[in-house]
Chain A
């Protein structure tokens, strides 16, 4: 079982950092929210409505997958055309990232010819394309060059200021420090800790997020060894 008794409430206007070791269930949690993974028990609600058997709510979510998988024979330009065509209900698109990453230069390249970083840029641009009020970004900065990371981070911060709900997973904690206000720590499919980052820093007497988390984990381990 990848997820076990997860109980979590995510509020609009806040930005959540989803942290945890590899295989702790972060991506599975995200995929459950998107309906890509169907939970065997329990319920997920989006704006008060259950998402099991629903699909319309996804128009409010922009998703950037950890590993972007796209039809390999498609050209980049065709991919964007297709997504716009399928989401005809949203005639206004946000092409800020497309321009910033200069993706129009690779419009006639096929997806299989793209490097990991370029693919990541395509994923990011797609996630922001439809002005979704909820943004789910699964390791957005992994594999990007430093310039692109800054472009993406600035974009994320701008979106955050617009009052959007952000869910971001990352292993680069210094990035999260600038973006996120809340932290959810997952371990072996359970949520171990969920609080605002300010509170976490106060609790652990640290000023940097990475130190605070390290201290938190050490405290937990210590506590466990005592109770055992």
Chain B
């Protein structure tokens, strides 16, 4: 399996996309440092990038990579290699390279300014979000043989979780504002990995008041540490279910 991972890594590096991604994150982070020297504000600005751009890049890169390496996968599957290990190798290679790009791109400037402490939560949630959206993109890739369709579905996941879901949530809260909705919103948030990541970061930064109603309630309900632990475990679930389901589909797929 390590041999297969090695070749996928090699292939990913050759496309140079990962290098551009790292450079983009580096430029952004350095730019935020130029605008404001306050680490807290830099982290807050970066948070928005993490919540929007990281999932988008993960989703698009993963689907394109999966379909570009279709030939490689076909070639491997005619060899004495387990289907699951081919699939897992793909996942591990893609996820690791995206995570590395993120950690280097965001972490390096902070290390340079000597502010490792303030960045740790941002890094962890960014890695989590990368993993979640790589999983979702793999899921959409095994659903269909059509590249365009797969990218469409993957983008829909991103669009849904980063924009539509919050709109729906607001609508629910607004419409049923006469009822006690705390627990309901709490449950609904668990169904959106981006919201979970946002909550972890906001609880950590101790600015949950900015998130208004739910944030305050969340903090009240769990206290900081419990809330972070709870959302982190939910995010783990979001990493694992799509990849397990897609592995199941892939092991029965006709090539």
A interface with B by C-beta (< 8 Å): 31, 34-38, 55-59, 61, 63, 65, 69-73, 82-83, 85-88
Contacts and interface: CB of A to CB of B under 8 A. Distances in A.
A69 B74 contact: yes
Interface of B: 3-4, 7, 11, 14, 69-72, 74-83, 252-255
Contacts of A70: 71-72, 75
A59 B254 contact: no
Contacts of A58: 78-81
Contact of B71 (A34, A55, A71): A71
B79 A86 contact: yes
Nearest to B14: A73
Contact of B252 (A31, A38, A63, A71): A38
A36 B81 CA distance: 12
A150 B16 CA distance: 43
Contact of B254 (A37, A55, A71): A37
B253 A38 contact: yes
Given A38-B254, A55-B83, A86 B78 contact: no
A31 B80 contact: no
5 contacts: A55-B80, A55-B83, A58-B78, A69-B75, A86-B76
Contacts of A55: 80-83
A72 B80 contact: no
B75 A36 contact: no
Given A31-B255, A36-B255, A37-B255, A59 B80 contact: yes
Contacts of A37: 254-255
Given A37-B255, A71-B11, A87 B79 contact: yes
Question: Most chain-A CB neighbours within 10 Å: which of B4, B11, B71, B76?
Answer: B71
